[in-house]
Structure 1
Amino acid sequence: MGQFILVPIIFFGLVILISSFFIVKQQTAAIIERFGKYQSIRQSGLQMKIPLVDRIAGRLSLKIQQLDVLIETKTLDDVFVKIKVSVQFMVVKNDVYDAFYKLEYPHDQITSFVFDVVRAEVPKMKLDDVFVKKDDIAIAVKRDLQQYMAEYGYDIIKTLVTDIDPDAQVKAAMNRINASEREKIAAQFEGDAARILIVEKAKAEAESKRLQGQGIADQRREIARGLEESVEVLNKVGINSQEASALIVVTQHYDTLQAIGGETNSNLILLPNSPQAGSNMLNDMVASFTASNQIGEAMKNAQSKKPK
């Protein structure tokens, strides 16, 4: 009979002994109460408590946590917008008591405070300024929330405005404005490109004309130099300048006829084109030179006979 009683006592003793030990995970704090009154805070590792007297009232994570808060508010230009604010926070290791006993629902408290700050800041801004100054909104939330939550043992690590979502009709209007601005800029670029092409084309044509004129001038200069050399060569064999010039003209005339005859697909007709053309041309030129010399001599004689 004594053995039957001893076994339950031993079993009950083992259960009591085992329940006196507990494990606290890394980056976690356990709050111990004795008969409902705060007793101690235990950190990570194997811990011990008095069975049936001490109990684990709760555990708090010491890791950085994130809470996403979605707020709907109105801007200065009467546009309704949804703003998503992400709050990163953690329990201060040395203030676990305040975090556990002073604040029952920390997420609800943080959410309410973020709502209050955002709805105080955003109505002061126009919609465009909300996008531009979203970092200022996040800084304002962190500054005010930090002061408020520090009293309850919480540290606000960072606040971020992660999304700004205006009303659907406003977004459509903004997209149309954006598209119009981009089309305007594209048209300006196309106009500038077309103007540049016209200017460059005009510059190229001007340069082409200049080079063409320069080529014609160089060509005529070389022709004149060649004629001068030809006249000098003919003068050396006793042909005067007038006869030499006439001979050169006739020679060029026949060279031209020969060149035209060599072109099978040429439609050019040289006038006059009779067999006597070269002879007539030569006679006309000699007669012209002779007449001009006679006129020149007569003028010299007339000037010499005038009384001084």
Structure 2
Amino acid sequence: MLLIPILIAIVLFVLIVVISNIKIVPQASVYVVERLGSYYATWETGLHVKVPFIDRIAKKMSMKEQVVDFAPQPVITKDNVTMQIDTVVFYQVTDAKLYTYGVERPMSAIENLTATTLRNIIGEMELDSTLTSRDVINSKITATLDVATDKWGIKVNRVELKNILPPREIQDAMEKQMKAERERRESILRAEGEKHSQILVAEGEKESAILRAEAEKESAILRAEGVREQKIREAQGEAEAIQMVQRAYADALKMLNEADPTDRVIQIKSLEAFAKAADGKATKIIIPSEIQSLAGMVTSLKEIAGGK
């Protein structure tokens, strides 16, 4: 009876040992396995079983790209200016075995290597170049770290300078310079705006003057055309009046001819015409003899009429 519980306990123990030695490696991860203290294998994604009490998982690591932010490091430029620069390193484990056995504390090694490389690069540059050549510095550090960390199973994808902090007095001077530059640009923009405004005003005045001149020209043309039309109409009216007088005179002559007037009637008409001429401002009038005799006859008739 005592044997059965012992067998059950042994079976449970074996099951627990077997189950505890079944390992599932997740995606983008690897396990470094040692057997009896020596490197045995690198397990990648999937199901694995290790030998109990013989195999040991020495290290679990992610194969994803990782980011580490290092604290600011004091560096000195070529012109003896001390600055604080902090860096961000983007890296990825490419060889799990080298990463496990290649270097003690890989992140500390990368940080120290980054600081050393940064000091070497910045030490060959002046302050102005340091502030304006961030991309160049990033590229140089990345290339140097990538070569150095290759034997550690690490791939450095890129390094970024996060902040570059010069001394306080230099920062104040830079801020004053930036302020002066902003004021200068503002003055230039304001002057260009005023110039543009003046150009617009001048163009507006020019357009207005042109429009006024064109309006005055059109008005003068219209006035001239009005005067011309008036003179044409007056001339036409005078011509029509003359034509009417001539036509009336011609009609009168025609009627007179049709009436077959006697010589006495013609002489009387002539006398009337000379009477009208005498009303003018002429100082001397020559009267034909026929009209003189007719005038004498008229005078005689007036005397006879007066005697009655």
2:87 maps to 85
CA distance in 2, matches of 1:102, 1:5: 47
SS of residue paired to 2:53: coil
Stretch deviating more after TM superposition (168-177 or 34-43): 168-177
Please give the per-residue CA displacement for 1:38-72, whole angstroms capped at 9, x wherever unaligned.
Answer: 22221122211211121212222211111112323
If the length of structure 2 is used for normalisation, what is the TM-score? 0.63
Query: Cα distance, 1:200 vs. partner?
Result: 5.7
SS of residue paired to 2:129: helix
**Correspondence list, 1:2-81, <5 A:** 2-70=3-71, 71-81=73-83
Structure 1: which amino acid aligns with 2:87? V
The answer to whether the 8 Å contact 1:60/1:100 transfers is no
SS of residue paired to 1:72: strand
The answer to whether the 8 Å contact 1:20/1:49 transfers is yes
**Correspondence list, 1:123-272, <5 A:** 123-198=123-198, 201=201
CA pair 153-202 structure 1, distance change in 2 beyond 3 A: closer
CA distance in 1, matches of 2:189, 2:148: 54
SS of residue paired to 2:152: coil
SS of residue paired to 2:27: coil
CA distance in 2, matches of 1:37, 1:106: 20
CA pair 100-229 structure 1, distance change in 2 beyond 3 A: closer
CA distance in 2, matches of 1:38, 1:143: 31
Structure 2: which amino acid aligns with 1:83? I
Query: Cα distance, 1:146 vs. partner?
Result: 0.9
Query: Cα distance, 1:148 vs. partner?
Result: 0.7
Query: Cα distance, 1:5 vs. partner?
Result: 3.5
Taking only the aligned residue pairs, the percentage that are identical comes to: 26
Query: Cα distance, 1:77 vs. partner?
Result: 4.1
1:101 maps to 101
Number of residue-to-residue matches in the alignment: 236
Stretch deviating more after TM superposition (32-41 or 218-227): 218-227
CA distance in 2, matches of 1:201, 1:19: 89
RMSD over equivalenced CA pairs, Å:
3.3
CA distance in 2, matches of 1:17, 1:131: 61
If the length of structure 1 is used for normalisation, what is the TM-score? 0.63
CA distance in 2, matches of 1:56, 1:150: 24
Query: Cα distance, 1:184 vs. partner?
Result: 1.6
CA distance in 1, matches of 2:139, 2:43: 35
Task: Give the unaligned 5+ runs of structure 2.
Answer: 239-308
The answer to whether the 8 Å contact 1:102/1:152 transfers is yes
